[in-house]
Chain A
Amino acid sequence: MTDRPVALDAPAWRRTRISPATVVLLAGGLVGAVVVPFVPMQQYLISLLMQASTYAVAVLGLTICLGYAGQINLAQAAFFGIGAYSVGLGTAGFGLPFWLALAIGVGVAAIAGMALGLASLRVGGHYLAMVTISFQTILSLVLINWVSFTHGPDGVPNIGRPVAFGYVFDDGAYLSLSILSLCVVSLFVLLLPNTRLGRDMQALRDNELAAGVVGVDTYRTKVIAFALSSFFGGLGGGLFAGGFSYVSPDQFTFGESVVFLTMVLLGGVRSPFGAMLGTALLILLPEWLRFLKVIYLAVYGAAVILIMVFMPDGIWGFVSTQWRKLRPPTPIEPGQIAPLPLVRQVARDVGRVVLATKDLSKHFGGLKALEAVSFTVQSNDVHALIGPNGSGKTTLLNILSGIYDPTRGGITFDGRELVGLQPHQRAGLGLGRTFQNIRLFTAMTVLENVMVGAERPNHPPFGGEAQLEQHALAALDFVGLARRGHEQVGSLSYGHQRLVEIARTLAGSPKFILLDEPGAGLNHVEKSELVALLKRLKGHGLTILIIDHDMHLVEQIADRITVLNFGRRIADGLPADVLRNPDVIAAYLGEPTVHVAA
């Protein structure tokens, strides 16, 4: 737990960056791409492989959007169609070279996706589902009805293929190109989760609210995820059009969007291997399931429900979960972790006001959750906010961290007005927070959770992934959990999850942390450890605003106390004075306050 000397050796526990999966993908893809043109194949098999590889590119887009970022997209066939029609109309109608037409298609698809995301991602996921279906419907209408431009229901024939050295790609060469593209795209998707963007996406998928408070620009991340997804949708479609030399509107309907969705769900939504597996299965299945004839789409529908109920992570997810059970994560040897560089201006400005609220009010309809609350927090204090249930404590914290906008009033933090700033912008100013009901990124490891916190805006950049991991480990070590860094965060006990939440905040080197009932649900021993931890944090120069119901805990650590009751501030000051205040006693014990007439 205590500070240790800096280790100079390269940490031995670090995962190697080039995983076996990467090697398999690269080697398999390259060998496939090189060998394919020289293997004699029936036309039928070539078509099947061409379809599978181009579809898989679009399905990988869904892995990013749905699997990593948790945003539904029911219009992947529309983006696929945009790519396909751009190549089709570009080469056959306007005589453009294939590559230019493909670039236009991918660009238009990505821009359309971004525009759609910008319009709908500020509001909840249901809207996105609806907006994407609408977009899909409108695109289908346009493809069918704008006959003068799209050729209407007849479709576009004679689509061109790329030319290199005066030589037009034949089927073998074109299939090789498709496989190569798939290989590159899947590698991108495979490596994405280990980047800042990828972690931000997963954080937002697992807990959007916490992601924002920890410093993830959730809106921007969602829009990027959606745009990337449409980008790959367009790319897959463009390649598809070149491969089959004919496209028509019925290939890009809502039904096809559902097929794309089923592919990614069946295979497994969180891994590129799942996407490719699902695509391959669903392209081959209709061939194998020919005997089902008319009901095979109905079987699709039933399969979707069954997958959701019994195998929510898809086939690949199921397999990798079983695999992980066989191989427990290696514990991290903490001997070589550098101490966490926390706040450095220790206690130099004690007594300065860092946070001040002025007449802060929050009304929910007729309910006045907060009414004209003004209070200040001084630098390096542990400031407790107490009050009976429903007195507005958590509402106040939510306003401070930017989850709610106040109805009236202002907040100054370090000389800056906070009202109007998004949660991630406040995190960027060094305002950290934990939640009453723990909000961790449950599908990520302990270490990854903390890494998200370390990457808050304005935090000095790390020299690379290795340094970032070092820093996150130092934060984990500060709360005593470094050993368990590689475990899934959901497997930790309740008390440890609380500590991970604190470590996640600390990793962003905050000046000020808001703790919402950190003692709730902890046992006696854990509580005394929490008190010790809070004292260490104060010793490192942090300012803490804490809500807790445990008066014993509050008395042990609080420098000042503010008391709320029915949304109003009823007392404020030193613990000894506040806890003897008759109004405060009445509020807690429920006795009526006696107002003596003057």
Chain B
Amino acid sequence: MGILLQLIFTGLGVGSIYALVALGFVLIYRATNVVNFAQGDFAMVGAFAMVVMTIDFGLPYWLGILLTLIVLPVFGAAFNLGVYFPLRNRSYLPVIISTLGASIFLENGMLAAYGPRPQSLPPIFASQGITLGPVFLDSQYLAILATTVVMVALQYVFFERTLLGKKMQATSQDKEMASLLGIKVALMIMITFIYSATLGGLAGILIAPIIFVSVGMGSAIALKAFAASIIGGFGDVKGAIVGGLALGVIETLGAAYVSVPFKDGFAFLVLFVFLLLRPQGLYGERISEKA
């Protein structure tokens, strides 16, 4: 029982990372109707920015995070301008391919700059964690869970309680109508990319002390985050969070009780099952095109 609880805790921690990246997916999807296949690389960029700040420049940890949180929005804006904006009036296929190109570019550019050797980042807290009954709560996982809760709460308040948030919601529901009402659609989409890049980068910073920082770290997370958002119901914010957490737990339990080498396969197995039996996911509605 103790082991099971321990595994579930760890799974929720990993799942939070998936949830954060999945949220980024969903927000961009809702704003642009396109899946950003470089979403995971936002996490990679965030983690590498931290490596540059804290290890290469030797800055203190808090300053590193602060500067990274300045770098990420700029990166998100540049990504929007370079990868999405020129193709905004085309169908989803060119945009998907363009984001794929961006992903290859980012990963291999980083590979050329930093080499294949994985980097490691120190944990956020000096303390190891706390023991609660049979479960050891690792401080890093606690930090991940806490950040996820805070981000989800902030996001809820932002979208439901602020004018800017409502304008962004309007944009995601009907761009034409929103622009007729005087909402600057291009700006809203820009903000979405900025926020999404920050969210993804944050996930990268959080998970960096647990896994090594490598150029491929992002796409591995992104694939699972994408699977999580389909399982939750594509385009649904709640679905992204629940799907992410569920996938983290399933994966951790699968690795512990079934097979370690195939750990990365469980997410996709669950995904296939969902696509076959419930393609709209847990919370999604059936999607159909307007005639």
Instruction: Let me know if A304 and B101 touch, CB within 8 A.
Output: yes
B241 within 8 Å of A (CB atoms): no
Instruction: Let me know if A145 and B97 touch, CB within 8 A.
Output: no
Cα-based distance from A312 to B101 in the complex (angstroms): 13
Chain B residues, CB < 8 A from A436: 291
Instruction: Let me know if B275 and A308 touch, CB within 8 A.
Output: no
Binds B, one of A53-61, A132-140, A377-385: A132-140
Binds A, one of B102-110, B118-126, B179-187, B200-208: B102-110
Binds A, one of B62-70, B189-197, B260-268: B260-268
B276 within 8 Å of A (CB atoms): yes
Cα-based distance from A125 to B95 in the complex (angstroms): 12
Chain A residues, CB < 8 A from B227: 130, 134
Question: A312 and B104 in contact (CB under 8 A), knowing A123-B287, A403-B288?
Answer: no
Chain B residues, CB < 8 A from A141: 261-262, 264-265
Binds B, one of A104-112, A162-170, A290-298: A290-298
Cα-based distance from A234 to B103 in the complex (angstroms): 27
Instruction: Let me know if A305 and B226 touch, CB within 8 A.
Output: no
For the complex of A and B, 10 pairs with smallest distance between CB atoms:
A304-B101, A301-B105, A301-B104, A297-B108, A298-B108, A134-B268, A145-B261, A305-B101, A298-B109, A294-B112
Which of B106, B112, B265, B271 interacts with A130 by CB under 8 Å? B271
A400-456 contacts to B (CB < 8 Å)? 403-404, 435-436
Task: Give the residue name and chain of the B residue nearest to A259 (CB).
Answer: B104
Instruction: Let me know if B223 and A305 touch, CB within 8 A.
Output: no
A353 within 8 Å of B (CB atoms): no
Cα-based distance from A141 to B279 in the complex (angstroms): 25
Cα-based distance from A129 to B34 in the complex (angstroms): 12
Chain B residues, CB < 8 A from A574: none
Chain A, residues 265-309, CB within 8 Å of chain B (1/0): the string is 100000000000000000000000000001101101111110011
Please give the residue numbers on chain B whose beta carbons come within 8 Å of chain A beta carbons, in ascending order.
29, 35, 37, 82-83, 86-87, 90, 92-98, 100-109, 111-112, 219, 223, 226-227, 230, 234, 261-262, 264-265, 267-269, 271-272, 275-276, 279, 285, 287-289, 291
Question: A137 and B289 in contact (CB under 8 A), knowing A131-B272, A258-B104?
Answer: no
A209 within 8 Å of B (CB atoms): yes
Instruction: Let me know if B105 and A308 touch, CB within 8 A.
Output: no
Q: Give the shortest distance, in Å, between A64 (CB) and chain B (any CB).
A: 15
Instruction: Let me know if A124 and B287 touch, CB within 8 A.
Output: yes
Chain A, residues 57-72, CB within 8 Å of chain B (1/0): the string is 0000000001000101
Cα-based distance from A394 to B92 in the complex (angstroms): 25
A-B contact pairs, 13 of them (CB 8 A): A66-B93, A126-B35, A126-B96, A130-B35, A138-B268, A145-B262, A209-B291, A294-B108, A300-B108, A303-B101, A304-B104, A308-B98, A309-B98
Task: Give the residue name and chain of the A residue nearest to B220 (CB).
Answer: A137
Instruction: Let me know if A138 and B265 touch, CB within 8 A.
Output: yes
A contact residues, range: 35 or more
Cα-based distance from A541 to B63 in the complex (angstroms): 80
Instruction: Let me know if B264 and A308 touch, CB within 8 A.
Output: no
Chain B residues, CB < 8 A from A135: 268
Q: Give the shortest distance, in Å, between A313 (CB) and chain B (any CB).
A: 11
Instruction: Let me know if A304 and B98 touch, CB within 8 A.
Output: yes
A119 within 8 Å of B (CB atoms): yes
Chain A residues, CB < 8 A from B37: 129
Q: Give the shortest distance, in Å, between B290 (CB) and chain A (any CB).
A: 9
Question: A119 and B275 in contact (CB under 8 A), knowing A305-B83, A404-B288?
Answer: yes
Instruction: Let me know if A134 and B261 touch, CB within 8 A.
Output: no
Q: Give the shortest distance, in Å, between B115 (CB) and chain A (any CB).
A: 8
Q: Give the shortest distance, in Å, between B176 (CB) and chain A (any CB).
A: 12
Cα-based distance from A308 to B105 in the complex (angstroms): 14
Chain B residues, CB < 8 A from A124: 287
Q: Give the shortest distance, in Å, between B142 (CB) and chain A (any CB).
A: 30
Task: Give the residue name and chain of the B residue nearest to A312 (CB).
Answer: B94
Task: Give the residue name and chain of the A residue nearest to B289 (CB).
Answer: A209
| Chain A interface main SS type | helix
Which of A119, A125, A301, A365 interacts with B101 by CB under 8 Å? A301
Q: Give the shortest distance, in Å, between A360 (CB) and chain B (any CB).
A: 16
Instruction: Let me know if A300 and B104 touch, CB within 8 A.
Output: yes
A391 within 8 Å of B (CB atoms): no
Task: Give the residue name and chain of the A residue nearest to B97 (CB).
Answer: A308
Cα-based distance from A134 to B273 in the complex (angstroms): 12
| Other A-B pairs, 14, CB within 8 Å; known A302-B105, A304-B104 | A72-B97, A123-B287, A129-B96, A134-B223, A134-B271, A145-B261, A261-B100, A303-B101, A305-B82, A308-B94, A308-B95, A308-B97, A308-B98, A365-B285
A208 within 8 Å of B (CB atoms): yes
Instruction: Let me know if A308 and B291 touch, CB within 8 A.
Output: no
Cα-based distance from A209 to B234 in the complex (angstroms): 21
Question: A258 and B100 in contact (CB under 8 A), knowing A129-B37, A295-B109?
Answer: yes
Instruction: Let me know if A119 and B271 touch, CB within 8 A.
Output: no
A229 within 8 Å of B (CB atoms): no
Instruction: Let me know if B101 and A302 touch, CB within 8 A.
Output: yes
Chain A residues, CB < 8 A from B264: 137, 141
Cα-based distance from A380 to B103 in the complex (angstroms): 58
Chain B residues, CB < 8 A from A303: 101
Instruction: Let me know if B86 and A309 touch, CB within 8 A.
Output: yes
Chain A residues, CB < 8 A from B97: 72, 261, 265, 304, 308
A120 within 8 Å of B (CB atoms): yes
Task: Give the residue name and chain of the A residue nearest to B284 (CB).
Answer: A123
Cα-based distance from A254 to B276 in the complex (angstroms): 23
Task: Give the residue name and chain of the A residue nearest to B35 (CB).
Answer: A126
Of B105, B262, B279, most A-chain CB atoms within 10 Å: B105
Chain A residues, CB < 8 A from B83: 305
A536 within 8 Å of B (CB atoms): no
Chain A residues, CB < 8 A from B112: 294-295, 298
Task: Give the residue name and chain of the A residue nearest to B229 (CB).
Answer: A130
A462 within 8 Å of B (CB atoms): no
Cα-based distance from A300 to B112 in the complex (angstroms): 13
Chain A residues, CB < 8 A from B111: 294, 297-298
Chain A residues, CB < 8 A from B269: 138
A398 within 8 Å of B (CB atoms): yes
Question: A403 and B100 in contact (CB under 8 A), knowing A119-B275, A302-B105?
Answer: no
Cα-based distance from A312 to B86 in the complex (angstroms): 12
Cα-based distance from A134 to B104 in the complex (angstroms): 17
A127 within 8 Å of B (CB atoms): yes
Instruction: Let me know if A435 and B289 touch, CB within 8 A.
Output: no
Instruction: Let me know if A295 and B108 touch, CB within 8 A.
Output: yes
Chain B residues, CB < 8 A from A363: none
Instruction: Let me know if B98 and A137 touch, CB within 8 A.
Output: no
Chain A residues, CB < 8 A from B272: 119, 131, 134
